[in-house]
Structure 1
Amino acid sequence: MTSQLQTRAMMHKVHNALTDLNLETLTVCAPHMLQVQPVTAVLLALGSNYQADYYLPRVRDSLAMLGQIKLSTAFQNPDFTATLEQPKPDYTNQCVYIALTSPMTLQQLQQTFKKFESDCNRQRVTEAQTTSKKVTMDIDILLIKTALDKNSLSREKTFKTPDITRTTWIIMADRYPFKAHERAGIEELILNGFLKD
C-alpha cells in the first residue's frame, strides 16, 4: 500500500512539473555554458529511421531507469534532407519528459544518452560515410530543468530574459528553434499537463 501511495505521489509530482509551461518566455542557452549544472528534469527528442519499432521501446526502457517518464505520441516524418534525387527513409520521432530520480549534470546526461545510442547500435562513423544514413537511435536534449545560481550565467547573450529564477527550464540553443515534430511533441506534453515552470 505504501509503495502505491509513493508511486501516486511521484506521478502527481511529474504531472504538476509539466503544466502551464510557456516556451516563448524560456531562456535559451548554449549547452557548453551548463555542463556542470545539476539537472532535475529533461525533455528529449528521440528519432529513428531504421527499425524504430525495435529501438524506440528499447531506449525508452533505458530512459525509464533514470526516473519517471512521460511520452508524446510517436510521429512518422520525412527526412527533411531528402530530395527527389536522393530519397531517404522516414524518421519516427517522439518527445520524452524525464523527472530524474537523482540530479545529474548536463555533461553526465549527454554521456549517458550517447551510451544509450550506442546500446541501440548507433554507428556514427558509418552514418557519416553514407548519403542515406541508417539511424537506429538519436537522442537530442531539447530542454533541461536545473537549479541555477542567478549570477552564474549573466554573460550569456542568448537569454530571452535576464532574470533567472532559482529553478528554471532552459532551452538548448543548439536545438532551437524546434523542428515541427519537436514542437508538436513538446506542446502535446504541455497540453496533457506534463510540463510547467
Structure 2
Amino acid sequence: MYKSLVTPKRHPMMHKALIDLQDFERLQREEPEALQAHSVTAVLLALGSNYQAETYLPVAQAQLAALGQIQLSTAFQNPDFTATVEHPKPDYTNQCVHLALTIPMTLQQLQQTFKDLEGDCNRCRQTDVNQVRLVTMDIDILLIKLADKKNSLSKNDKSKWIIMKDRYPFKSHETAGINELIAEGLCGK
C-alpha cells in the first residue's frame, strides 16, 4: 500500500482538542465552493510529488511555514493509483501538514496561495493525457477550521473542522497522515 520514508515518533496520549478529528464520519462536509468567502484559521493539507520530491517537499514546507505554524506527518512513498502494467507511472511521495495560520485568510485566498506555491515549485500542468504526468508539487486542502467561533456553517459555538467534500473519502496515505498528526497531538492546539 504505502511505505514510510521516515520512522514516526509515537506518543501514547492524544491531545484533548483533537477528539473532534477522531471520527471523520461525524465531521461536517462542505463543497469548497460554498466556503470560498469564509475566513480560515487552520488547514490540514495533503502534499504530493512524483518528481524530485526530495527537492520540492522542503521548498513547500518552508513556504507553508512562512504562513504560520506547521506540523508534518511522516512522508510516505505510494504507487500512483492510476498506474497500470501497460502505463507505469512514478511513485508519489505524500505528506500531511497541519498549518495554523498566523493571519486568517479566506478559503479562496488560500487556494490561490497554494496554487502559486505549486508554481514556485515549477509545477507544470500537463494537458496531454498520453504523457506521463510529472508532478513537482501538488497541494490539496483536506480539512479547514473556520475563524468564526459561531458561523452559518457551525452547528454550535465551538470551532470544528470541516472536511472538503470533494476530497472525501480520504486516500489511505491521507488518513494515515492525519491520524499520525492526531496521535502526535499536533492539530488544534
TM-score, with structure 1 as normaliser: 0.82
1:168 shift after superposition: 1.5
- 1:167 and 2:159 correspond: yes
What runs of 5+ residues in structure 2 fail to find an aligned partner?
1-13
Quote the Cα distance in structure 1 between the aligned partners of 2:56 and 2:127: 20
Q: Tell me which protein shows more helix as a share of its residues.
A: 1
SS of the residue aligned with 2:60? helix
Quote the Cα distance in structure 1 between the aligned partners of 2:87 and 2:113: 33
Aligned amino acid, residue 102 of structure 2: T
Report how many residues are paired. 173
What corresponds to 1:4 in structure 2? none
Quote the Cα distance in structure 2 between the aligned partners of 1:75 and 1:87: 19
Following superposition of structure 1 onto structure 2, how do residues 1-197 of structure 1 map, counting pairs within 5 Å?
19-20=18-19, 21-22=21-22, 23-124=24-125, 127-129=126-128, 130-148=130-148, 152-153=152-153, 163-196=155-188
* Structure 1 residues 194 and 44: CA distance shift in structure 2, 3 A: same
Larger Rg: 1
What corresponds to 2:6 in structure 1? none
Q: Provide Cα deviations, 1:131-176, integer angstroms capped at 9, x if missing partner.
A: 31000000000000003586634xxxxxxxx825442210000100
SS of the residue aligned with 2:45? strand
Quote the Cα distance in structure 1 between the aligned partners of 2:113 and 2:31: 19
Could you say what the CA RMSD is over the residues aligned between the two structures, in angstroms?
2.0
1:80 shift after superposition: 0.2
Quote the Cα distance in structure 2 between the aligned partners of 1:18 and 1:122: 35
SS of the residue aligned with 1:128? coil
Aligned amino acid, residue 145 of structure 2: K
TM-score, with structure 2 as normaliser: 0.85
Contact 2:104 2:147 in 1 (8 A): no
Q: Where do 4+ consecutive residues of structure 1 move more than 3 Å? A: 15-18, 147-151
| Identity within the alignment, % | 63
Contact 1:18 1:189 in 2 (8 A): no
* Structure 1 residues 180 and 132: CA distance shift in structure 2, 3 A: same
Aligned amino acid, residue 79 of structure 2: P
Quote the Cα distance in structure 1 between the aligned partners of 2:68 and 2:26: 26
